[in-house]
Structure 1
Amino acid sequence: MDTTTSTLTPAESELATFGHDSAALSAEHAAQWASATGNLYELPEGLTWPQYRASSSIGEPTLDPDGRDEVIGGVPVRIIEPLSRPTRGTYLYLHGGGWCLGSHRTTDGRLRAIAEHTGLRAISVGYRQPPEHPFPACLEDCLTVADRLDGQRLIGGDSAGAHLAALVLQRRPGSWLGALLTFGVYDLAGTPSAGSRLDTPVRMLLAGVPRDQWRDPEYSPLYGDLTGMPPALFTVGTRDTLLDDTLWMAARWRQVAPTRLEVVAGAGHAYTLADLPVRYETEALYRDWLTEQIDAPN
């Protein structure tokens, strides 16, 4: 079966940079994810937000036995140290989940693989979340941890985490070796591909901020100053509602720093959470790219 011609539109085939051979599987997951997450940001009756977060299945619940739960500047973090090689720096990771969901304790497996492959200490940030803690609480927590890191630093995040990573970089430019930004949201008012799909979590994030201000650079990094940004790797699927966010942000980023854009054939949002061939290809790409940045002459 030729998944490229039978599954992808001509525009997708041209835009995608990898994953064509498994596009049918990726597209199937994209449809399933869209169907299953239509009401993701609506609090189920009878649950509090902490209870809902604890019961949600975003991420992988298995904890690395050698990982550590610590507190940095009052912010809870999960730390994964490389076991097979010396530590060469720090990778600061910001989890996704539409700001209001997700946890810093659900990515141990991926961060362990990064730590062993690159020699980077991985630190995942348990930032405060809306609606209990609206913006800028989440960003303040990420900055608190970032400001306490020594040595060589890289940063990354998925979805809402990529949004926060971009804001951290804009507020602390010039001191990072690289940014790994995965299907991020960079325009909170919605790019054409996103439309109004994120309005519910954004309203919780920006409690009380009028919608006509959501594109203010304080909130939407797509419109902020990119001076001093580090090299970046952007990844997104052709069927991700945040496709335009990544395409537009990568285009702007390319004007100020080395930028690599990888678009996954047929993939939707959060494809890196699924047991898909392109998930493992993407994770290998992450590890190799991070290694390139840490090895590059400074």
Structure 2
Amino acid sequence: MIQDPWTLLAPEAAAFLEHLKSLNAPHTEDIPIAVARMNYEKASRTLGGIPVSMARIEDRVLSSATNKDGIPVRIYWSTLEQDQPLLMFIHGGGWNVGSINTHDTVCRRIAKETGCIIVSIEYRLAPEHPYPAGLEDVQAAYQWCLLNAESLGADSTKVAVGGDSAGGNLTASLMSLLIEKNERLPDFHVLMYPCIDLSLSSESINTYAKNFFISKSTLEYFVKNYTQGQSVNDWKISPLLSPYFDKYPPAIMLTTECDPLHDESMQYKDKLTQAGVAVSQKVAKGTFHAYMQFTDIMPKHTDESYTWLSLEMKKLWSK
């Protein structure tokens, strides 16, 4: 047990979290979900830094057999060169908040530094659309990416999937679903501080339960809205319980040090490694959950992490 986890924070991270604490704002679970979504959009826009310029950006709505409204996506081209790799990106936000807008600066940065096309998807959110709605949208969008990669200017043989937090959860669940259905797997999957054990029972959940950007009580609220009575022991909901780890594609994992979700990220890495799957992991020291969205708060740490992420992705795509 860490005696005082606050001392692990980088100075700029501690200052930011102290400021948040001083605001004494209501927790996400204590305000209307529409307000929580608006707050997240505003914070991402305000603290995400200057958006990196792209050669082209296009918003589309994909048709879906399970989603009558279709699936909004935003496609990023950092260059108009042909045969770029393609990453399907799944945003975080606890399955309750978040959008293609909240992760716009993240996708721009990854596209620019990695030299890939990104298809960022906006899946249905809880509580209006609990599990399995979001996962169904992710499946449909992935199939669309495979079928349409070439028309986007991508190399159809180089496709990966990744996401942060709840997006990491949906990424990991998608791997097992594809294996179960004997469908094509991506070249690799990218997990940024994922939420992959919805029992919320790891030690770090309690170590970082309060004041580390996302609280245990908020996580419990998100999980309750997302599952709505479904068992958290279902591996489609808690992919840490997947029976298919030995068949997973390689993983790139960015893990935050001062994060309630730290331990489950480490457990996921261990399970993959024990199953013989190649894993590249960076534990970002002194950082808090979702820090990659806040470049204005932690420029040095986010720069290092984006550079590491892009190098690891390039490495795997060059094999």
Give the structure-1-normalised TM-score: 0.82
What is the alpha-carbon distance in structure 2 between the residues aligned to residue 182 and residue 121 of structure 1? Answer: 19
Q: Which amino acid aligns with 1:60?
A: R
Match of 1:23 among 10, 31, 45: 10
Secondary structure of the equivalent of 1:71?
Answer: strand
1:78-227 aligned at under 5 Å gives the runs 78-83=74-79, 85-150=81-146, 151=156, 152-173=158-179, 175-190=185-200, 191-195=202-206, 196-197=216-217, 198-209=219-230, 213-225=231-243, 226-227=245-246
Provide the residue aligned with 1:264 in structure 2. 284
TM-aligned CA distance change 1:280 to 1:93, over 3 Å: same
Deviation at 1:37, TM superposition (A): 9.6
Q: Which amino acid aligns with 1:291?
A: K
What is the alpha-carbon distance in structure 2 between the residues aligned to residue 232 and residue 34 of structure 1? Answer: 35
Contact 2:125 2:134 in 1 (8 A): yes
Match of 2:250 among 231, 252, 256: 231
What is the alpha-carbon distance in structure 1 between the residues aligned to residue 224 and residue 29 of structure 2? Answer: 12
Secondary structure of the equivalent of 2:287?
Answer: coil
Deviation at 1:117, TM superposition (A): 3.4
What is the alpha-carbon distance in structure 2 between the residues aligned to residue 36 and residue 228 of structure 1? Answer: 47
TM-aligned CA distance change 1:90 to 1:58, over 3 Å: farther
TM-aligned CA distance change 1:118 to 1:241, over 3 Å: same
Deviation at 1:26, TM superposition (A): 3.3
Provide the residue aligned with 2:293 in structure 1. 273
Q: Which amino acid aligns with 1:78?
A: R
Give the structure-2-normalised TM-score: 0.77
Secondary structure of the equivalent of 1:133?
Answer: coil
TM-aligned CA distance change 1:135 to 1:33, over 3 Å: farther
Secondary structure of the equivalent of 1:265?
Answer: strand
TM-aligned CA distance change 1:216 to 1:87, over 3 Å: same
Contact 1:215 1:223 in 2 (8 A): yes
Deviation at 1:55, TM superposition (A): 4.1
TM-aligned CA distance change 1:114 to 1:224, over 3 Å: same
TM-aligned CA distance change 1:85 to 1:129, over 3 Å: same
Deviation at 1:180, TM superposition (A): 1.3
Deviation at 1:115, TM superposition (A): 2.4
TM-aligned CA distance change 1:102 to 1:260, over 3 Å: same
- Identify unmatched segments of 5+ residues in structure 1: 1-5, 13-21
Deviation at 1:84, TM superposition (A): 5.2
What is the alpha-carbon distance in structure 2 between the residues aligned to residue 37 and residue 286 of structure 1? Answer: 34
Q: C-alpha deviations, 1:243-268, integer Å up to 9, x for none? A: 10111011111123110121121211
TM-aligned CA distance change 1:51 to 1:23, over 3 Å: closer
The answer to whether structure 1 residue 284 and structure 2 residue 294 are counterparts is no
**Number of residues of Structure 1 aligned to a counterpart in Structure 2:** 274
Percent of aligned pairs sharing the same letter:
26
Secondary structure of the equivalent of 1:262?
Answer: strand
What is the alpha-carbon distance in structure 2 between the residues aligned to residue 7 and residue 201 of structure 1? Answer: 24
Provide the residue aligned with 1:246 in structure 2. 265
Q: C-alpha deviations, 1:270-291, integer Å up to 9, x for none? A: 1112221101111111111111
Contact 1:69 1:79 in 2 (8 A): yes
Provide the residue aligned with 2:212 in structure 1. none
The root-mean-square deviation of aligned C-alpha atoms, in Å, is 2.7
Deviation at 1:50, TM superposition (A): 4.1
- More deviation in 263-272 or 109-118? 109-118
Q: Which amino acid aligns with 2:283?
A: V
Contact 1:178 1:230 in 2 (8 A): yes
Q: C-alpha deviations, 1:111-143, integer Å up to 9, x for none? A: 223323333210111000000001000000000
Match of 2:38 among 37, 40, 54: 54
Deviation at 1:97, TM superposition (A): 0.8
Contact 2:28 2:36 in 1 (8 A): no
- Identify unmatched segments of 5+ residues in structure 2: 64-69, 147-155, 207-215
Deviation at 1:218, TM superposition (A): 2.6
